[in-house]
Amino acid sequence: MKIAILTSGGDAPGMNVAIRAAVRYGIKKGHEFYGVVSGYYGLVKGDFIELDHKRMSGVISSGGTFLKTTRFESFKELENQEKAVENLKKHGIEGLIVIGGDGSYRGAMSLSKLGVKVIGIPGTIDNDIYGTDFTLGFHTALDTIVESMDKLRDTSMSHQRCSIIEVMGRNCGDLALHAAISGGAEFLVTPENPISKDEIIETLKEYKMEERTHAIIVVTENIMNVHEFAKEITEKSKFTAIATVLGYVQRGGSPTAEDRILGTRMGAYAIDLFDQNINGVSIGIVNERLVYLPIDVVVNNKRPASPLYKIVTEVS
């Protein structure tokens, strides 16, 4: 069986690991592999490269994706989807592995409806995919955030400040939640855990009365202007506040051991599913067990809020 692999949307540490596992495991089972350069854009342009055992050498420790990625909004158009199917057929490709997040899955769902045998692997630091406890890249990004938080806490304590840290997550607060617990933050603001600015400011006033010298606020992106909020805290409480937007540094870096293991398991599992003639599905991990669900179910459902929210207020 000829299988193509593409990475799409935002890059995530662990994407290369999943590609490596699928290729090396799949070759031993008699399959041939091609990489699609630059995601769906490359699929429409017909930009394929052959993937073999040797080409996978050294990629396990590399962040990002060596196949490159793009955000190709025009892939929503049926004309481009049909062109992609045509290119797959032209190269004799019988199966496609898509590694990415929500937008990537929507493209995979469209191709599945056109008859392409597709399997999705969740690769996004946001951890916002339904049907899996964790996505590839989440744990690496989390470690990056916590390391940054520890450093910011050092300077916050030295200068007796309040630090606001904005992290990625799109519309999911998992990165902020796990970082807040791991980094000992005093406040957590996410879509699942909204807290008013006034409530935070009043609590900071109480902290000053209790002679607490610093505080950390973790905020998921797209909720507020953290720089404006820092000014407001400085004006209304006795804390001087500084905001830090971690930005794209969260996406980079060598994948952690946890993401390497997860990527390896998911990549190999995709091949096992193809061998069982199972496709049109997304792979996930639930309670340490690999599972799969139809892609349309994954795309059309929202990931439930983490049970960790039940304890976060007790440990801040």
- The DSSP call for residue 308 is T
The answer for 211, left when phi > 0, alpha when psi is -120 to 50, beta otherwise, is left
* Residue 238, phi then psi, degrees to nearest 5: -95, 10
Residue environment code for 15-38, b if the CB has 16+ CB neighbours within 10 A, otherwise e: bbbbbbbbbbbbbeeebbbbbbbb
Between vectors from CA 50 to CA 45 and to CA 52, what angle results, nearest 5°? 155
- Number of helices followed by number of strands (H, E) in the chain: 11, 11
Tokens standing for residue 297: 């179910």
Coil, strand or helix at 209 = helix
Residue 248 makes CB contacts below 8 A (sequence gap 6+) with none
Catalytic residues: 126
How large is the greatest C-alpha to C-alpha distance in the chain, in angstroms?
72
